[in-house]
Amino acid sequence: MGSNWGRREWFLGKARMLLEAQGVKILNSSSIYRTFPEGFRFQPSFLNQVLAAETALSPLELLEASKRIERRLNRIRLFANAPRTIDIDLLFYDNVVMDTASLTLPHQRLPQRAFVLLPLSEIAPRMRHPVLGLSVSQMLSEVDTSGVRRWR
């Protein structure tokens, strides 16, 4: 999850609470990290956090629940990489590999994103990418983490 608009830490906590209300049991969570924005750089820094969870929802149902939460928390998509109150991405879903118009699992940019890999390595360093066969720790060793700092 990520937020860089308004009360960023509050939005992360509220999104977590709303996920739990949708039947998503949070098993573990990373620290919160502060990250400089990518793409459109003239915006506030992000707070990012990774959650490990279990749910009876299918991947597509979980995606829809996440999008409902983003809408409820006033996520507005003005342009690509625009500031946002909350962004909820599905990174992995067990070892599911899928590529549809609405969802790609594992997340297609995961191996290049230090702001995802660093918090993910905190809670699941040995988790393996089901396509690449690399662990989270191995993927993390291949990216520049200089723009990612622990917040809390």
Give me the CATH number covering residue 96: 3.30.70.560
122 lies in some domain: no
Is 87 tagged catalytic?
yes
Please provide the size of the chain in residues. Answer: 152
139 lies in some domain: no
129 lies in some domain: no
Domain that holds residue 48: 2-109+145-150
Catalytic site residue from 34, 84, 144, 150: 84
CA-based nearest residue to 131, from 99, 100, 97: 97
Is 99 tagged catalytic?
no
CA–CA distances in Å: residue 133 to residues 29, 79, 126, 130, 138: 23, 34, 11, 6, 10
Tell me how many domains the chain contains. 1
The percent of residues in the chain predicted with pLDDT above 70, rounded, is: 95
Per-residue pLDDT tens for 46-104? 999 999 999 999 999 999 999 999 999 988 776 666 778 999 999 999 999 999 999 99
**Mean pLDDT, residues 29-41:** 85
125 lies in some domain: no
Is 144 tagged catalytic?
no
60 lies in some domain: yes
Catalytic site residue from 87, 113, 128, 144: 87
pLDDT at residue number 76: 78
Bigger pLDDT: 115 vs 42: 115
132 lies in some domain: no
